[in-house]
With several copies, the nearest count.
Chain A
Amino acid sequence: MHIEIRHEGFSAWEILAHYEAQRAEEMHGNFGATAVFVGTMRDFNEGDDVSVMTLEHYPGMTEGYLARICEEAELRWQIQDSLIIHRVGDVRPADAIVLVAAWSAHRADAFDASRYLMEELKSRAPFWKKEQLNHGDERWVEKNTPDPGAERLGKEMKNKKKGM
Chain B
Amino acid sequence: MTIRVKFFASLREQVGISEQDLENDGVGTVDDVWLAVTDNQVMPANVLIAINMEYVEAGTTVTDGDEVAFFPPVTGG
Contacts and interface: CB of A to CB of B under 8 A. Distances in A.
State whether these chains interact: yes
Interface in B38-70: 46, 48, 50, 53-57, 69
B57 A126 contact: no
Interface residues of A, number: 30
A72 to B, nearest CB: 14
A55 to B, nearest CB: 7
17 contacts: A55-B76, A61-B69, A86-B77, A118-B77, A122-B74, A124-B74, A126-B69, A126-B74, A126-B76, A127-B76, A128-B8, A128-B71, A129-B75, A143-B73, A144-B76, A163-B56, A164-B48
A128 B74 CA distance: 5
Nearest to A63: B53
A56 B10 CA distance: 10
A129 B76 contact: yes
B76 A122 contact: yes
Given A58-B69, A121-B76, A122-B75, 14 more contacts: A55-B76, A58-B53, A60-B53, A61-B50, A61-B69, A86-B76, A122-B76, A126-B8, A126-B48, A128-B10, A129-B76, A130-B10, A142-B75, A143-B73
Interface of B: 6, 8-10, 46, 48, 50, 53-57, 69, 71-77
B76 A98 contact: yes
Contacts of A122: 74-77
Contact of A143 (B6, B50, B56, B75): B75
A154 interface: no
A57 B75 CA distance: 10
Contacts of A142: 72-73, 75
B76 A163 contact: no
A-B pairs, top 6 by smallest CB distance, nearest first, are: A127-B76, A128-B9, A61-B53, A164-B55, A122-B77, A140-B10
A125 interface: yes
Contacts of A144: 73-77
Contacts of B46: 143
Nearest to A60: B53
B53 A130 contact: no
B70 to A, nearest CB: 11
